[in-house]
Amino acid sequence: MLKNSSEIDITRVTQSKIKDVDFENLTFGNVFTDHMLICDYKEGKWQKPIIKPYEPFLIDPSAKVFHYGQAIFEGMKAYKDENDDVWLFRPDQNLDRFNKSAIRLAMPEISEHIFIDGLKTLVDMERDWVKKGLGNTLYIRPFMIAIGSGVIAQPSTQYRFMIILSPARSYYSGEVKVTIAEHFSRAANGGIGAAKAAGNYSAQFYPQKLAQEQGFQQIIWTDDATHTKLEEAGTMNVFFRINDTIYTAPVSERILDGVTRKSLIELAKREGIKVEERSVLVDELVVAAKDGSLKEIFGAGTAAVVSPIVGFQYKETYYELPKTEDSIALQLKDKLTKIQYKLAEDTFGWTVKI
Ligand SMILES: *Cc1c(COP(=O)(O)O)cnc(C)c1O
């Protein structure tokens, strides 16, 4: 770990703001911890990382992030167990994906040393912000932006990598109804859908707003070419349970390779739940909804872990899902969160102690 100051420059706050935080009433992503990590890239290399008090910073108005959207991020969590140990969940997967996103956006890759060791040092400094008990987490947001100035449309030569941390509580999102995309697309073949790029989110906001005006919390995205294959639910991967098999689309150029998705697949296999990675067609879903074999639809992602969906709209018709007593979604969610909080044995070796 980058514990000593020869590898990382650390400036601490004089007084923590933790005592002003109401940990019982947190809205997601609004409160940040005392410190942040910054590491700049210039002259072809990453500079020494620093950890300093969380605060705004100056960037030139012509910085490329503002004009051409070179911005990528990750979303991870830290968990505290009953012995006050703090754990990360599969951080290697986030580093891998971050570097894949960087390559796709013509940004520099980052080392394990800066990303993982920097993250561990920062989270270790903020361990009081990670609260015990199921549902309490510290949300971790690593990101990279192009800070080089000049509005010429070419990749920046200067970048800033940062990590900020936000205490979070799991929340009940209410009943989630979705509408299936018939016109808009989140991603296209050859595009940036497989990268965790800021632009993928801004491109979703408008269709999502239209869906919300019609009473749907999320959109189930379909493939851009034919709108016949079901791909993701909003910013989550999506699973369908037909009879007793769960299905999710294979990862592709249009689908984000979610850590929650791949973990649920492995867990399901271990538990003897039938799981298939294959495209589910919209027509197939409608038929299954009509004949009663469609039992569950759920989104999967770090923020909500598993997000059950109660019904979907397609071509003006709303299909409501049956209430299930034996929800596979909730069963898998329970197994996964118990591993994350060290309440169940981690037979996969997914958890990493800080
Ligand atoms: C982040 C993200 C996911 C979920 O990935 P996790 O690693 O499970 O958090 C799924 N789809 C999209 C589009 C995403 O951006």
Could you report the per-residue pLDDT of 41-78, keeping only the tens digit for each?
A: 999 999 999 999 999 999 999 999 999 999 999 999 99
pLDDT-derived band of residue 324, with 50, 70 and 90 as boundaries?
Answer: confident
Residue ranges, comma separated, of all CATH 3.30.470.10 domains in the chain are 9-170
Distance CA 320, CA 236 (A): 20
Residue ranges, comma separated, of all CATH 3.20.10.10 domains in the chain are 177-341
User: Which ligand 1 atom is the nearest neighbour of the CA of 263?
Assistant: 8
Q: Is 94 in the pocket of ligand 1 (CB under 6 A)?
A: no
Q: Which of 330, 327, 336, 335 is nearest to 244 (CA)?
A: 327
Average pLDDT for 323-349: 95
Angle at 194 between CA 86 and CA 208, to 5 degrees: 90
Reported as a single tens digit per residue, the pLDDT across 306-316 is 999 999 999 99
Sign of CA dihedral 82, 344, 139, 111: positive
Q: Is 234 in the pocket of ligand 1 (CB under 6 A)?
A: no
Reported as a single tens digit per residue, the pLDDT across 185-216 is 999 999 999 999 999 999 999 999 999 999 99
DSSP, collapsed to helix, strand or coil, labels residue 297 as strand
Q: What are phi and psi of 288, to 5 degrees?
A: -65, -35
Q: Is 235 in the pocket of ligand 1 (CB under 6 A)?
A: yes
Residue 165 contacts by C-beta under 8 Å, 6 or more apart in sequence?
32, 33, 36, 78, 122, 123, 126, 129, 138, 139, 140, 141
CA of 53 to the centre of ligand 1 (A): 29
pLDDT of residue 6: 58
Whose alpha carbon is nearest atom 10 of ligand 1?
236
- 302: tokens are 């770090």
Fold type of domain 177-341 = D-amino Acid Aminotransferase; Chain A, domain 2 (3.20.10)
Length of the chain: 354
Q: Is 74 in the pocket of ligand 1 (CB under 6 A)?
A: no
- 341: tokens are 């909080």
CA of 259 to the centre of ligand 1 (A): 7
- 12: tokens are 């601490």
Distance CA 127, CA 52 (A): 16
Quote the pTM value.
Answer: 0.95
Please, what CATH class does the domain formed by 9-170 belong to? alpha beta
